[in-house]
Amino acid sequence: MNLIQNRAFLSKARVVFLDRDGVINEYPGDFQYVTEWKAFRFLPNVFEALRRLSENAFKLFIISNQAGVSKGIYSYEALKSITENMLEELSKQGVIISGVYYCIHQPEDNCNCRKPKTGLIDRAIERLKSENLDIDLQHSYFVGDTIRDVETGIAAGLNTILVFSGKEKLENRHNWQVQPDFTASNLSEAVDLILK
């Protein structure tokens, strides 16, 4: 059986890819980073919003650029600690995250994983396939707080939602090189759109 035939037997999964800073936790500010767990602050209503997605059988992946590691601003161990604590808190709230993927490179590294490239999404899709799941692109989303996130979602063939709880602001719309499918004030409103 070849790969194309085999794909027909994969179950379809609805997936929401989420940027981290400005979507799940407070945006630290332009050119700033969350460097330790005690500086990580969940945004309001995030637990409930993500729980609603989990309860509606969406697979959730966090996709985030974290170049502060390669810049030497914080260590990979610090990033790992932040992630472990974040996942523990989400789990306590009934939120299941299927995977967290970071790009720790800088733009000049020209890697294939730094958004707006889709390398991290490709890795998540490979993870799904290892579980005999294929992504249902028509009903899957990328939720982010930057135009770069929108570009990433478009490149991956996903529906895109730009939230205004982080970096990007609605008044900058005239400067956007691409347009999101939807905009929302925050993750909770984005989930309303997804579940509508």
**Residues acting as catalytic residues:** 19, 21
Give Cα 51 distance to the centre of its chain: 15
d(CA 74, CA 83): 13
Q: How far is CA 69 from CA 15, 23, 39, 109, 125, in A?
A: 27, 20, 16, 13, 25
The separation between the first and the last C-alpha atoms of the chain, rounded to the nearest angstrom, is 38
Tokens matching residue 13: 């999964």
